[in-house]
Structure 1
Amino acid sequence: MTTIDAPRTPARPARKGGVNWEKWGWIYMRASGLVLIILIFGHLLINVVLGQGVKQIDFAFIGGKYATPFWQVWDLLMLWLALIHGGNGMRTLVNDYAYNRVVNRILKWAILAAVVVLVVLGTLVIFTFDPCPAGAPADLVASFCPVK
């Protein structure tokens, strides 16, 4: 005789003790989503809605923004939260649909590697951006740059 598991019986029994990473991932997704809404709409408001719209965005505009630590931190928070939020969402999809244990691990490591590489590269761009590059034409650099 075959017995059928009761509804909502977990496929894998829950571990006893330790950190509940799924719970913290769920909390992170909600908290980072709320903060991202504020960061993204603030970003769009400043960069697109106020001023001259999209046509104002050029190298000098970005150079002027990144000359102040406020915008560096704003964009850094947006970058980190968005990438980690997206990586965690992709991890959840892999857990839901990749049943093969080896494929599951490979995909999760690939997501982690992509998130880490993009976070490192984005952070480097934000903090090493030079708004006054040597040898650049005067009409392409920010107005605060000294004429060379």
Structure 2
Amino acid sequence: MSAIIQSPRSPQTRSRKGGVNWEKWGWLYMRASGVLLLILIFGHLFVNLVLGEGIKGIDFAFVAGKYASPFWQVWDVVMLWLAMIHGSNGMRTIVNDYANNRTVRRILLAAIFVACVVLIVLGTLVVFTFDPCSTLIPADQALSFCPVP
């Protein structure tokens, strides 16, 4: 019995007519989000570590000051969304490559999807609802611009 291996440049036949090629779009997303993540992450590190006082300058007040600006809120949320979807898509690819049992594959893919959605929702809520003057913070630890109750 011999197997015929098609030339790499030969046209591919599709098993189904029409539809969206999700693997192609996932591959393109990984490349585009990877480039954007490099820009966002190195910009984040540059602003936080190089322009400021370094790691010793990052504290609650620093984060509160950053999240007072809509620019940094959007920057961090875009970084969060791209990183979570990028990582989840990578995990999906690994599960599809190595999980042979259909039931196990579906359970793992569902777990990845749920974890991604939960972390994106929680992270987005934290960024946009962050209140540095929360009543949960003791008065002696409140920031200088927060009204004392």
TM interval, short-chain normalised: 0.7 to 0.9
How many residues matched?
A: 144
Match of 2:22 in 1: 21
Match of 1:134 in 2: 135
In the TM superposition, 1:117-132 aligns within 5 A as: 117-132=118-133
Q: Is the 8 A contact 1:61 1:142 kept in 2?
A: no
Structure 2 residue ranges without an equivalent (≥5): 9-13
In the TM superposition, 1:1-148 aligns within 5 A as: 2-6=1-5, 14-134=15-135, 136-137=137-138, 140-148=141-149
Task: Pick closer, same or farther for the CA change 1:81–1:139 going to 2, 3 Å.
Answer: farther
Q: Is the 8 A contact 1:47 1:53 kept in 2?
A: yes
> How far apart are 1:140 and its partner, in Å?
4.0
Greater RCO (Cα-Cα under 8 Å, separation 6 or more): 1
CA deviations 1:63-100 (Å, max 9, x no partner) are: 11111111100000000000000000000111111122
> How far apart are 1:132 and its partner, in Å?
1.3
Structure 2: how far apart are the matches of 1:41 and 1:146?
35
TM-score, with structure 1 as normaliser? 0.87
Q: Which amino acid aligns with 2:37?
A: L
Q: Which amino acid aligns with 1:4?
A: A
Structure 1 residue ranges without an equivalent (≥5): none
TM-score, with structure 2 as normaliser? 0.86
RMSD (Å), alpha carbons: 2.0
> How far apart are 1:4 and its partner, in Å?
2.6
